[in-house]
Amino acid sequence: MHLGESTRECEYSQISTRSSTPMETPYKKKTPKKRKWETFPGRNRFYCDGRIMMAKQTGVFYLTLVLILVTCGLFFTFDCWFLAEQLTPIIPVIGAVLFLFVIGTLLRTSFSDPGVLPRATPDEAADLERQIDVANGSTGYRPPPRTKEVVINGQTVKLKYCFTCKIFRPPRASHCSLCDNCVERFDHHCPWVGNCVGKRNYRFFYMFILSLSFLTVFIFAFVITHIILNSQRIGFLSALKDSPASVLEVVVCFFSVWSIVGLSGFHTYLISSNQTTNEDIKGSWSSKRSKDNYNPYSYGNIFTNCCAALCGPLPPSLIDRRGFIQSDAPQLAPPTNGLPMYGSTQSQQSHKVATTPLLQQQQSSEPVILSPENGASLPGRASLALGGPCTSLPLGQPTPPASTPSLSCHEATDLLPIHGHPHNHSHPLQEQLAHHHFLTPEEVPSPPGMLHCGSPLGHSHTMQGSFYNPASQDSLHEDSVRGLVKLSSV
Amino acid sequence: MATEFHNLQELRRSASLANKVFIQRDYSEGTACRFQTKFPSELESRIERTLFEDTVKTLNTFYAEAEKIGGQSYLEGCLACATAYLIFLCMETRYEKVLKKIAKYIQEQNEKIYAPRGLLITDPIERGMRVIEVSIYEDRGSSGSSSGSSSVSGSTAR
């Protein structure tokens, strides 16, 4: 049959060319295979052919590096000779050891994978959507946003669904809006190290700030000693003139000591109680929330908590940056009519459409809900709790409400040229909008007034047909940005 | 003919993949890696419950062994810290060693138990440790229009 053949041909070529995951290339590569980091969906930067992984903004990391290198360089050049002669040569040795340890742990923190969770494959995502819809039932009423409850050691923990990564986040995982990844045991995004701090690099981060505290105190103490000893011989002012670098070192160390030592102390407390910065700031396990609220992850005593965090086994990276992309993995529901990814079944189409109005609705109701929830409580606690370098982004949460509408508009236009995958067009945008509002899902009461979106199921077939049509992508994007969905925009 | 070539390619390539079942993680004991041992209904006709549950339980014990916090892991952690983590350039972590064991175990299980029943287990590490993916393959009666069979399998996937 001619029709069957042509469909089969479409299918056959689609199997090899369509991306089954966002990580695969959209078009067939006849040239050498690509490594997976080259098509990584998050907003990370990779160096050394995927061996090094950092966040997108690395400016502050270079500042950190320069500060440490310059201060230590000045110390070794100007102060160490005097101290080695006058006191003992062990001082520069200890200084060197500390310095190397600091640099080593800093680089390890910055360059390693913090524990990024890879995004769900289309089959997994479809399976999850199916399960969720079965659980909710299709009553035409907007289903409540997706959470799952699980009881861990007697405490009820809510697992949230990540619209970007299409997974239910494991407990303690969080989505970093800067890096656009879900990270396991998410602590915070640290601009000073240019990376997220999560399960895999938390110990390196802690070792870094601890050793840096020792280093700053060490340099501070010995530079002061140098100046004092020198001024006993030749007077205070001439001592200062003799080594002007010392003045700079003292100034840098003085300001660093307060923040770094404070931060080390804070993280020591977190480690001993087995909490993340995220949880501490939100007060997830604080007894103020309810009388029988306790931390289900704590091992009970401080020693075990510390050992577990610092000396526990180091899990491997889940994202396989340097692996090669396999383009011919068997897929579950091959597309028809060139429609990619979510197959041709009616139920799956209706799932897709059902989620879209949900996303739009969230965006339109967002400004009302976000501000009281995190705006008021966040800044106060952040400055109180941290007071150090890592205050700027303690949470991997969406940017404050005020900036979101412009941000999403900006990203709407940004995403169009960047994501050249024709079939991926609508997804990143909607996911961007969606995950910026992931705080709202619990609060949004799904007003019955949004009934105009209540009948997408009826339009599912045509909707799916137009959904991936590149010609209507622009109008769809505009509409979704404005918070409307024209379901009949075929 | 072109159609036969296409069919052969597809048979070899997709081997008439009918459905995929995902075994999700079990977080009831914390964030440690554990998979639910609940037997999925789609596999009822394909494999004995005990065999499948045994596989999942063995995998769970492997992961527990990898993530165990005890003398050996402390030693490894302290040694690594003392050498500024440079030791990992030449040594494999315990977790990686166990993952290799797991990969071998899964391959062995696939060869002995699952492939003869038309099933295939994907190593969870390839799915970011989120799920155990069990692919169900159908015996294709005829090599007729593949679009027909795939739409049939698509509807059964529901």
User: For position A332, what pLDDT does the model report?
Assistant: 61
User: For position B77, what pLDDT does the model report?
Assistant: 85
User: For position A30, what pLDDT does the model report?
Assistant: 58
- Nearest C-alpha neighbor of B3 from the set B144, B141, B140: B144
Q: Return the minimum-mean-pLDDT range out of A140-144, A326-330, A482-486.
A: A482-486
- Write out the two tokens for A231: 């001024």
Q: Return the minimum-mean-pLDDT range out of A186-200, B62-76, B139-153.
A: B139-153
B133/A128 Cα distance (integer angstroms): 13
Residue A328: list chain B partners with CB under 8 A. 13
Q: Report the share of chain B in percent with pLDDT over 90.
A: 28
In 3-state terms, what secondary structure has residue B120?
A: strand
Q: What is the mean pLDDT of chain A?
A: 70
Residue A190 exposure: Cα atoms within 13 Å on the Cβ side: 28
Q: Give me the residue label for tokens 């690509």.
A: A34
- Cα B10–chain centre separation: 23
Average the pLDDT over A449-457 and give the result.
41
User: For position B140, what pLDDT does the model report?
Assistant: 59
Question: Which tens digits make up the pLDDT trace of A292-302?
Answer: 788 888 888 88
CB-based contact, A308 to chain B, within 8 Å: yes
User: For position A95, what pLDDT does the model report?
Assistant: 93
- Write out the two tokens for A376: 């008021």
User: For position A156, what pLDDT does the model report?
Assistant: 87
Task: Output the CA torsion sign for A69, A71, A74, A75.
Answer: negative
Whether the complex's predicted ipTM surpasses the cut of 0.85: no
Beta bridge partners of A115: none
Confidence of residue A394 (pLDDT cuts 50, 70, 90): very low
Which comes out higher in pLDDT, residue A86 or A475? Answer: A86
**pLDDT of residue A387 exceeding 70:** no
CB-based contact, A6 to chain B, within 8 Å: no
A95/A90 Cα distance (integer angstroms): 8
| Three-state SS annotation for A396-463 | CCCCCHHHHHHHHHHHHHHHHHHCCCHHHCHHHHHHHHHHCCCCHHHHCCCCCCHHHHCCCCCCHHHH
Confidence of residue B14 (pLDDT cuts 50, 70, 90): low
Question: Which active-site residues of A does the annotation give?
Answer: 190
Note whether B27 contacts A185, CB cutoff 8 Å. Answer: no
Average the pLDDT over A75-97 and give the result.
89
Reported in sequence order, the residue ranges of A16-141 that DSSP labels E, i.e. its strands, are: 44-47, 52-55, 116-117
Task: Output the CA torsion sign for B151, B152, B155, B158.
Answer: negative
* Shortest CA distance from B68: residue in chain A: A313
Average the pLDDT over A128-133 and give the result.
80
Note whether B85 contacts A316, CB cutoff 8 Å. Answer: no
A244/A180 Cα distance (integer angstroms): 45
Confidence of residue A490 (pLDDT cuts 50, 70, 90): very low
- Nearest C-alpha neighbor of A310 from the set A207, A460, A440, A451: A207
- Count contacts between A and B (CB, < 8 Å): 155
Q: Report the share of chain A in percent with pLDDT over 90.
A: 24
A311/A391 Cα distance (integer angstroms): 26
Alpha helix ranges (H) inside chain B: 2-14, 49-66, 71-82, 94-109, 146-157
Note whether A5 contacts B153, CB cutoff 8 Å. Answer: no
Which residues touch B101 (CB under 8 Å, ≥6 apart)? B62
- Cα A483–chain centre separation: 26
User: For position A154, what pLDDT does the model report?
Assistant: 85
User: For position A344, what pLDDT does the model report?
Assistant: 39
A154 φψ region: left (φ > 0), alpha (ψ -120 to 50), beta (else):
left
Beta bridge partners of A54: A45
Question: Which tens digits make up the pLDDT trace of A88-109?
Answer: 889 999 999 999 999 999 999 9
Note whether B125 contacts A316, CB cutoff 8 Å. Answer: yes
Average the pLDDT over A234-250 and give the result.
86
B71/A96 Cα distance (integer angstroms): 31
CA–CA min distance B45, chain A (Å): 20
Question: Which tens digits make up the pLDDT trace of A327-358?
Answer: 655 556 544 444 444 433 444 444 444 444 44
User: For position A262, what pLDDT does the model report?
Assistant: 94
The answer to whether the beta carbons of residues B131 and B24 sit under 8 Å apart is yes
The domain segmentation of chain B, as residue ranges, is 15-25+45-138
User: Of the candidates A104, A313, A332, which has its C-beta nearest B20's C-beta?
Assistant: A332
Question: Which tens digits make up the pLDDT trace of A152-198?
Answer: 888 888 888 998 998 899 999 999 999 999 999 999 999 999 999 99
Confidence of residue B111 (pLDDT cuts 50, 70, 90): very high
User: For position A207, what pLDDT does the model report?
Assistant: 92
Which comes out higher in pLDDT, residue A378 or A284? Answer: A284
Q: Give me the residue label for tokens 């969870």.
A: B124
User: For position B142, what pLDDT does the model report?
Assistant: 43
Note whether B145 contacts A4, CB cutoff 8 Å. Answer: yes
A399/B31 Cα distance (integer angstroms): 27
Q: What are phi and psi of A380, to 5 degrees?
A: -60, -50
A150/A130 Cα distance (integer angstroms): 20
CB-based contact, A127 to chain B, within 8 Å: yes
Average the pLDDT over B71-76 and give the result.
85
Beta bridge partners of B136: B19, B119
User: For position A469, what pLDDT does the model report?
Assistant: 46
Note whether B95 contacts A100, CB cutoff 8 Å. Answer: no
Question: Which tens digits make up the pLDDT trace of A32-47?
Answer: 778 888 888 888 899 8
User: Of the candidates B30, B85, B158, which has its C-beta nearest A297's C-beta?
Assistant: B30
A103/B23 Cα distance (integer angstroms): 42
CB-based contact, A172 to chain B, within 8 Å: yes
